[in-house]
Amino acid sequence: MTPRPWLHGFLDLCLLAMLRERPDYGYGLAQRLAAAGVADIPGGTLYPALLRLEQQGLASPSWAPSENGPRRKYYEITPAGLGALRAQADEWRVFRDGVDALIGNEMAGEHTP
């Protein structure tokens, strides 16, 4: 699982990517992040992030009843959210490739006699 300081920079990206697939509510998103092996995200990190997305107009909320228990706040990605997702995904790829290149070199170095 990714340590939290790293996740902080990529959480919005992960949330937007999941919302592009389908609208979801907080608990569902937490489960999907954990299932993807990305993070076991604390509620105190997840819910403020969702509120931020809502406030920035990147995701729009709607309430829906649940089979058991109180109604849920579902988030749906907006056109602005899709734009932000594309931009952040590009940044992520550049970052990932850069780190991969560095790690690759180090690993190769270790195997050199």
Task: Give contact residues for another protein (rule: CB under 8 A).
Answer: 5, 25-27, 30, 43-44, 47-49, 51-52, 55-56, 69-73
Least CB distance to another protein at residue 107 (A):
28
At residue 7, φ and ψ (nearest 5 deg) are -60, -35
8 Å CB contact between 74 and 62 = yes
8 Å CB contact between 80 and 16 = no
Least CB distance to another protein at residue 104 (A):
27
**Residue nearer to another protein on the CB measure, 18 or 30:** 30
| Residues 23, 15, 3: CA angle, nearest 5 degrees | 145
8 Å CB contact between 28 and 66 = no
**Residue nearer to another protein on the CB measure, 69 or 109:** 69
**Residue nearer to another protein on the CB measure, 95 or 104:** 95
Least CB distance to another protein at residue 32 (A):
14
Residue 96 is encoded by which pair of tokens? 């990932």
Least CB distance to another protein at residue 10 (A):
13
